[in-house]
Structure 1
Amino acid sequence: MSLFSNLLNLHSGRKPLEDFFTEIIAYFLSLNNDILLGWLKHYSIISDNNYSSIKISTQQEHKGLESHTEDSRLDIVVELSNDLSTDVIFIESKIGAKDGNNALKKYAEILSNLPNVRHRILIYITRDYDPKDEIKTPAFNLEPKVNFYQLRWHQFYARLQQYSTDILAQEILIFMRKNGMSHTNQFSPVDLLTMVNYNKTLNLMESTLGEEVQREFKLAFGGVINGAASMTQWRSYSRYIIYTKFSGDNLWCGLGYFNFNSDTLTEYPYLGIFLEVSARFGERPKIIESMQKIINDKPNI
């Protein structure tokens, strides 16, 4: 496991994967301006690299315009300056989620309203396929104009491999593989084998988590939420489970298969059970204390 994966696992509650990765990438590019400019030039986002100052910031807040219902927070803002002018790039990064609440339109409008800027550029970079064909170039026909570019994280991964002798770059590459950001649209022999056996494997998992297991799960925890949601769990959390909730979404229990989509062929899924309590739940400390007491009292289970 990579250094960054270990650090992310230290975070209690829901892991902030996108914000965490944003900070890593922004820090790396701030240390390696040549890689940043080479990446931007490779996709014709900028035409030259004759900049005397490069400033990169993260989670930059901008007050909403009159037409906006709320303020905005930008993942990464890049300011490229020389003696005469400044170019500004907003980068919206997505790993699992997609553009929600028409955020890209708001960011483009904020970018268009910035004063004293020569080129205004909005980049939307995602792990998953999320086409934005409706966003024209110039984006949303704004004036001053905003140029929109859509990229995928696997493209950045391929570029970064050219610098794999850098220790920090190596750790980023491992982290990207671990979180599915290195995948291209090319099928490997393993992918084809998975496609052939997909339905068979899915039926086996459904069968082994059904009937007797579900009956015992209901006896222990009071119920089972519709198992169809397991496909969402598979896609978002690399697991296939049956589960039930207590106190709304504040406390819940899941049973099933974990550790799908490993970045190596030597790590296999495992069968497991978990109890998870929301970081926002007022009774969280008591529940954690009770869980810890069970572990201490019965360490052999």
Structure 2
Amino acid sequence: MGFYMRDFSTTILLIFKYQPVCFSRRRIMKTLFKRVYDLLKNTETHRIEDYLTEIFSPILKSEEKLKSFLNRFINDNYEEVSNVQIFTQRTYSKLEGHSVDSRPDMVINYTGGTKKHILFIENKVGSQEGENQLSRYADHLKVHQSKGYNVYLLYLTKYYEPKEDEYILDNGSGFTQKRWYEVYNWLSQYKKDLYCRQVIEYMEELQLNKTRKFTPIDIYAIQNAQRLQSMLDECLDGRVMDKFTELFGKPKQWSHRTTQLRANNLYILINDQTDWKFVGCGFEFTEEEYPSLTVFIEVHPNCNKKDATIAALNLFCENKEEWTFQPPSDDNEYFWCYTEKNLVQFLPEEDHIMGIQNYLIARLQEVHQIKVDNPQLVWI
């Protein structure tokens, strides 16, 4: 295999590497905590910070893990901790000069050595600090300090959000600011613990595990990113775009490809076929070593002619060896008809892009037969 063949396939993978937090809706199971959050988020308030706090807090109820956490993030060398109490979303009535009550995401009371300690943790994933939020917490900690407590305030953020340490310290708290990727790295030592592993996987879905180091391969991928994205586009534009438009109408604008890549690990052409049916084709990035080429029909559970559509897709796949039908598990699930071929299978061809285009066009012509045979399902 020549260098060019290796260069095209492996570097595409490096640039658009599968991330566990961003996944295709097809055939990839969500983590337990993501499924629970999806059930809860339809309520009036569904802040991801509150939810993550509730998931993470049980880990720190272990005295061993709490001691490790404190030594890592509060910079105190505890030989042991005891009498651990953890409260989430605990409200403190407003003090003089405060306009509102205060409610830290997590409050931890514990004994370290012979001293009583209290730690406030404020967690930010998709939002920023509220008005004077940290200084209000510091004021409440100062009250505890006057009662003999050692006090600490830990501010955990997903993104870079610098604070004025000295200002907060003047309000009476030992202030520490950390990023969630640091907590992820710390927690990774407990992967053998079943609960910790579930939390780790959920943090990956939230992209709280982003690496902080560029490898030589990453640098090579960055240097070739523009050229390789151009090659991806060439695979989908021109002949494939024309055939897709002829059979299924003009696909969504180019920017939709990058949205799909970020949200679903798909780099595709896609178009609405009415009645909650969507046809797409292009690249799918999964946990496999190489991405796949795919053509699919995706149907939303709101489809008005669901039973007839399921029957049509199932019959089509039964008569086409390379096609798979994925039925809905219940009335609220999507269902699909799809075919796929691993990119590595195109590497022996002299012209990779031509081979990819020929494959996509052939599969688009096949799936178009569903539209021809079932006009009663309504298509554009």
TM class by shorter-chain length?
0.5 to 0.7
Q: Match of 2:304, as an amino acid?
A: K
Q: Which has the higher helix share?
A: 2
Give the secondary structure class of the aligned counterpart of 1:116. Answer: helix
RMSD, aligned CA = 4.7
Match of 1:36 among 58, 66, 74: 66
Maintained 8 Å contact 1:112/1:120: no
Q: How does 1:174-189 map to 2 (within 5 A)?
A: 174-189=201-216
Q: Distance in 2 between matches of 1:272 and 1:63?
A: 56
Deviation per CA, 1:202-229, whole angstroms, max 9, x where unpaired?
446667489869989x9799x86x94x9
Q: Distance in 2 between matches of 1:124 and 1:101?
A: 12
Match of 2:227 among 200, 205, 214: 200
Q: Distance in 1 between matches of 2:128 and 2:164?
A: 12
Corresponding residue of 1:250? none
Aligned length: 269
Q: Which has the higher contact order (CA 8 A, sep 6+)?
A: 2
Corresponding residue of 2:309? 298
Structure 2, unaligned runs of 5 or more: 1-19, 21-27, 272-277, 314-336, 338-380
Maintained 8 Å contact 1:209/1:256: no
Q: Does 1:25 align with 2:56?
A: yes
Are residues 187 and 148 of structure 1, via their aligned partners in 2, closer, same or farther at CA, if it must alter by over 3 Å?
A: same
Corresponding residue of 1:99? 128
Match of 2:154 among 105, 118, 123: 123
Maintained 8 Å contact 1:8/1:20: no
Are residues 50 and 196 of structure 1, via their aligned partners in 2, closer, same or farther at CA, if it must alter by over 3 Å?
A: same
Give the secondary structure class of the aligned counterpart of 1:89. Answer: strand
Q: Distance in 1 between matches of 2:215 and 2:88?
A: 36
Match of 1:140 among 168, 184, 207: 168
Identity of aligned residues (%): 20
Structure 1, unaligned runs of 5 or more: 245-252, 277-287
Structure whose CA Rg is larger: 2
Match of 1:88 among 118, 131, 135: 118
Corresponding residue of 2:88? 58
Are residues 295 and 26 of structure 1, via their aligned partners in 2, closer, same or farther at CA, if it must alter by over 3 Å?
A: same
Q: Distance in 2 between matches of 1:188 and 1:25?
A: 30
TM-score, normalising length: structure 1: 0.64
Alpha-carbon offset, residue 110 of structure 1: 2.6
Q: Distance in 1 between matches of 2:96 and 2:295?
A: 52
Q: Does 1:191 align with 2:218?
A: yes
Corresponding residue of 1:5? 31
Deviation per CA, 1:87-139, whole angstroms, max 9, x where unpaired?
221222234x242444xx413323322433323222122344x041x4224x4
Q: Match of 1:22, as an amino acid?
A: T
Maintained 8 Å contact 2:79/2:113: no
Q: Distance in 2 between matches of 1:109 and 1:141?
A: 12
Q: Match of 2:91, as an amino acid?
A: E
Q: Distance in 2 between matches of 1:257 and 1:16?
A: 34
Alpha-carbon offset, residue 230 of structure 1: 7.4
TM-score, normalising length: structure 2: 0.53
Alpha-carbon offset, residue 26 of structure 1: 0.7
Give the secondary structure class of the aligned counterpart of 1:151. Answer: strand
Are residues 265 and 17 of structure 1, via their aligned partners in 2, closer, same or farther at CA, if it must alter by over 3 Å?
A: farther
Corresponding residue of 2:16? none
Give the secondary structure class of the aligned counterpart of 1:110. Answer: helix
Are residues 192 and 186 of structure 1, via their aligned partners in 2, closer, same or farther at CA, if it must alter by over 3 Å?
A: same
Q: Distance in 2 between matches of 1:45 and 1:296?
A: 61
Give the secondary structure class of the aligned counterpart of 2:187. Answer: helix
Q: Distance in 2 between matches of 1:203 and 1:175?
A: 33
